[in-house]
Amino acid sequence: MIEASLAGRRAFILENTRLQAPPHTPELRLRLADEITPIWKLTEEALAEIGLPPPFWAFAWAGGQALARYVLDHPEVVAGKRVIDFASGSGLVAIAAMKAGAASVLAADIDVFCEAAIGLNAEANGVEVAFTEANLLDAAPPSSAEVLLAGDICYERPMAEAVMAWLVQGRAAGANVLIGDPGRTYFPKDGLVKLAEYQVPTTRELEDMAVKRTSVWTLP
C-alpha cells in the first residue's frame, strides 16, 4: 500500500518511473512509466490494492505533447502571463509554459498523485509550478487567469462537455484558450480554430496507433 502522504506518493513515483524525454518535446524531462516500469499494465483491482488511482500522470498524452510543443515554439502565447494548465497530469504543459516564460502557472488536477509527479517533474526541469487538486470546474475559471491550457481532456463525454463549457466561460471573460487533442471521440471541433497539427509519437500500450495526428486548437 502506498503511504498516503506527499512523501509517500513521491517515493512511489521515484521507484516506479524513469526520467525521460517525451518524444515530441525532447527538451523536457519527465518521470514516466514505460516498458521497464509498466504500472500501466496493473489491473483496476491491483491499482486499488496499492491505493493508486489510474496513473494518468505517468504518461505524456498526445494532446499534452502537442500543446507543450506549440507553447515551446510560440512562447509569446504565454510569456509574462498568468496561466492555468487544466488536467495537468504529469505537468508537461505547465512545465512547457514556464519554460516559455509564463509569469506563473497553476497546474490543476483532481488526482493528488499529480501534486507529487508535477513537483518532481518541475524540479527536473528547473521551473516552479503551483498545484491545486481543487476541481476548478465547480466555478467559473479564476478571473486572474490570462491563458487556459488543456491537453487531452476529451476522452470521456461528461468531462469533455464540462471542460469545454468551462473553457468557453473563460474565453468569454477574456482568457486565451488553447487545447491539445488527438481526435478523441468527445472532442467538439465546432467553433474552434486549428492553430497547428503534429504527428505525435505515443505508445501502442495505451493508444490505437504508435503515432497520432494531434492538433492544437483555440477558441476564437
H helices of the chain, in order, are 6-16, 44-50, 62-73, 92-99, 113-124, 157-172
Give me 191's grid cell: 467553433
Binding-site size, ligand SAM (CB under 6 A): 24
Tell me which residues in 176-205 interact with ligand SAM (CB under 6 A).
none
* Closest distance of CB 202 from ligand SAM, Å: 10
Does 165 bind ligand SAM (CB under 6 A)? Our answer is: no
Which residue's CB is nearer to ligand SAM, number 11 or number 162? 162
- Decide: is 64 part of the binding site for ligand SAM (CB under 6 A): yes
Query: Does 109 interact with ligand SAM (rule: CB under 6 A)?
Result: yes
Decide if residue 135 touches ligand SAM (CB under 6 A): yes
Applying CB under 6 A, which of residues 13, 93, 95, 106 lies at the interface with ligand SAM?
Answer: 93
If 0-12 CB within 10 Å is exposed, 13-18 middle and 19+ buried, where does residue 158 land?
A: exposed
Is residue 87 within the footprint of ligand SAM (CB under 6 A)? yes
C-alpha cell at 217: 486548437
Is 70 a binder of ligand SAM (CB under 6 A)? no
Which phi and psi angles does 69 have, rounded to 5°?
-60, -45
Q: What b-and-e string marks burial along 182-217, b requiring 16 or more CB atoms within 10 Å of the CB?
A: bebebbeeeebeebbebebebbeeeeeeeebebbbb
From the list 7-15, 27-35, 56-64, 71-79, the region that binds ligand SAM by CB under 6 A is 56-64
For ligand SAM, which stretch binds (CB under 6 A), given 116-124, 147-155, 200-208, 211-219?
147-155
